[in-house]
């Protein structure tokens, strides 16, 4: 009895303290996602160095101008919800935003008409098919599938309230400017190149038109969509756009509210389900972060409440996803334990 009491009073507390000291570092990695500056700085440069020599994939060439972008450009950026910026590589090179613009135009429509309007007039289901699949547009004849595939993105553009095409485009550009905290510009050569070769997107426009799923003149919507895709962003600017989502709709650099907080989870849900083209399931399974990719080589991923992680590199795989960018983001997310499905968070 006396022995047990001594064990209880002195030895047991000592053992508990030793056990706590041993376990504490592991608890830290399984809990809150770290925003420690030294950690983020290290991870950005580690991700850059690990994948900078990877040559898998090739620049998209179905838009001729994209094939001219130097294939070895590579940049990695983290912007936290508090506005700290960590970078490595080519983070100031402007590339065309392409499909990464899609969730932001959906957010603009939500701002104007509420998130229910996306559900009713476009839809939110992932297709499991390519982003420009005509078949996907025909699967759900009452809607245009979801705003992150081409048909749904063209429909989203057509929903932006405006009297003219110029007004509609300027609204989209102004919204992206506020998200990025910068004056963005169209890369005219990319716009012209895609406008001359976007017959498939015009087909989407006409299919939507004949089945009452487009809300402005269809060719005008396709043209504004094509200009939207040609907006130039740097990896750093894209990361600020993503960090605005991570910060519940407030741009962490300019401090301006751009998206209502209630719409942010809807935008992230779209990104989670359809942000990675027909590899969205794979991405959810491996990285577990809402993200959006574009054939220009940009990818933005969002760790809600914490940060955005962006990669830019023009070599894309068959699905259209930048190989180095995806690997870099996945590496950082894994090191941080940032998977949104992780119970440790």
Residues that bind ligand GLU (CB under 6 A): 98-99, 131-132, 150, 194, 201, 229, 294-295, 320
* Alpha-carbon separation of residue 259 from 5, 48, 245, 248 (angstroms): 61, 31, 8, 8
Across 123-216, the runs of DSSP E, i.e. the strands, are 185-186
Number of other CB atoms surrounding residue 25 within 10 Å: 8
Q: In terms of CB distance, is 250 or 319 closer to ligand GLU?
A: 319
Contacts made by residues 41-46, CB under 8 angstroms, sequence distance 24+: 41/86, 43/78, 43/86, 43/331, 43/332, 43/335, 43/336, 44/76, 44/77, 44/78, 44/86, 44/87, 44/88, 44/332, 45/88, 46/331, 46/335
Q: How far is the CB of 35 from ligand GLU (least distance, A)?
A: 30
Q: In terms of CB distance, is 249 or 320 closer to ligand GLU?
A: 320
Q: How far is the CB of 43 from ligand GLU (least distance, A)?
A: 26
Cα 72 to Cα 314: distance, rounded to the nearest angstrom? 7
Q: In terms of CB distance, is 126 or 249 closer to ligand GLU?
A: 126
Q: In terms of CB distance, is 65 or 90 closer to ligand GLU?
A: 65
> Considering just the CA atoms, what is the radius of gyration of the chain in Å?
22
Q: How far is the CB of 193 from ligand GLU (least distance, A)?
A: 10
Q: How far is the CB of 215 from ligand GLU (least distance, A)?
A: 18
Q: In terms of CB distance, is 126 or 320 closer to ligand GLU?
A: 320
Q: How far is the CB of 296 from ligand GLU (least distance, A)?
A: 6
């Amino acid at each position: 009895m006396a022995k047990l009491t001594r064990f209880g009073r002195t030895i047991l507390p000592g053992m508990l303290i030793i056990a706590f000291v041993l376990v504490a570092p592991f608890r830290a990695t399984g809990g809150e996602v770290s925003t420690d500056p030294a950690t983020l700085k290290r991870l950005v440069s580690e991700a850059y160095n690990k994948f900078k020599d990877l040559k898998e994939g090739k620049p998209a060439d179905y838009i001729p101008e994209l094939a001219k972008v130097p294939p070895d450009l590579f940049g990695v950026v983290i912007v936290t919800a508090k506005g700290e910026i960590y970078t490595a590589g080519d983070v100031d090179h402007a590339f065309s935003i392409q499909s990464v613009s899609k969730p932001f135009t959906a957010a603009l429509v939500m701002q104007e008409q509420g998130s229910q309007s996306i559900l009713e007039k476009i839809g939110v289901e992932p297709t499991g098919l390519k982003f420009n699949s005509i078949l996907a547009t025909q699967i759900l004849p009452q809607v245009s599938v979801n705003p992150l595939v081409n048909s749904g993105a063209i429909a989203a553009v057509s929903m932006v309230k405006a009297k003219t095409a110029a007004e509609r485009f300027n609204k989209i550009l102004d919204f992206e400017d506020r998200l990025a905290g910068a004056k963005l510009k169209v890369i005219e050569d990319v716009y012209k190149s895609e406008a001359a070769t976007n017959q498939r997107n015009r087909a989407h426009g006409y299919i939507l038109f004949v089945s009452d799923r487009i809300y402005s003149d269809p060719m005008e919507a396709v043209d504004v969509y094509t200009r939207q895709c040609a907006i130039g962003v740097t990896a750093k600017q894209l990361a600020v756009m993503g960090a605005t989502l991570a910060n519940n709709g407030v741009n962490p650099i300019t401090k301006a509210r751009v998206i209502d907080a209630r719409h942010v989870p809807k935008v992230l849900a779209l990104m989670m389900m359809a942000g990675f083209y027909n590899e969205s399931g794979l991405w959810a399974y491996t990285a577990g972060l809402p993200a959006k990719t574009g054939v220009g080589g940009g990818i933005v991923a969002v760790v809600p409440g914490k940060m955005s992680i962006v990669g830019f590199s023009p070599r894309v795989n068959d699905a259209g996803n930048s190989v180095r960018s995806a690997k870099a983001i996945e590496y950082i997310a894994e090191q941080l334990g940032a998977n949104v499905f992780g119970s440790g968070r």
